[in-house]
Structure 1
């Protein structure tokens, strides 16, 4: 493998890192986090004593950032990022705001949608 260890793939990078970063956990304790959940560092939190990945997240979240953006910037899978963010929320290092689900928002009027569709078909 050109002197590289077997846990490294040239295209994918380190293959065990997300597993080790989350300490083997595969599920976040907060189930209400999704890709567009916005997080921000809690006021006055330095994160002193936290692991490097947690500190990276806190630094990124000095201004509001979505879970997906954090994953992209850290080059980690979304599942791993959600676990780390969940830990920080539980430790009160991060504040979060999840978007309302479709059950909490108004459902569009089906008659209006049908009228729009009919109008488009007539074009």
Structure 2
């Protein structure tokens, strides 16, 4: 009889276990295109293998969507894990500005014209 805790690739861990039972990240500013990057050379405390793998993956900037794909984990699980790492100081992130804060086309053109005059 097959073991219900394993599949063909190895052990199966439920998402709620990886997130400590949390279904939502503490941070609300993690979008699909938010970039995350490690700001530390290594982990200074005991963390889960998933947390350690995310820090390793994010040595180069990655989007939240890329981390989810590379880890083969659901997006919400990855957001919870990323939120943990940001709060602990292992990662920093940069989210796109809200649509109402994006500069107008006219302003961008004026800046470009000014740069060309330099």
- Answer yes or no: same fold by TM over 0.5: yes
RMSD: 2.4
SS in structure 2 at match of 1:31: coil
Structure 1: unaligned runs, 5 residues or longer: 110-123
TM-score, normalised by the number of residues in structure 2: 0.77
Alpha-carbon shift at residue 106 of structure 1 (Å)? 3.7
| Residue in 1 that maps onto 2:60 | 63
Alignment size in residue pairs: 104
Higher helix share: 2
1:73 aligned partner? 70
CA contact (8 A) 1:29 1:83 kept: yes
Equivalent-residue separation in structure 2 for 1:40 and 1:69 (angstroms): 12
Which protein is bigger by CA-based radius of gyration? 1
1:108 positional shift: 6.7
Cα-to-partner distance string for 1:62-87 (whole Å, 9 max, x where unaligned): 01001100000111000000000000
TM-superposition CA deviations, 1:6-56 (whole Å, max 9, x none):
x6677xx94x52111001101101000111110000133434421101000
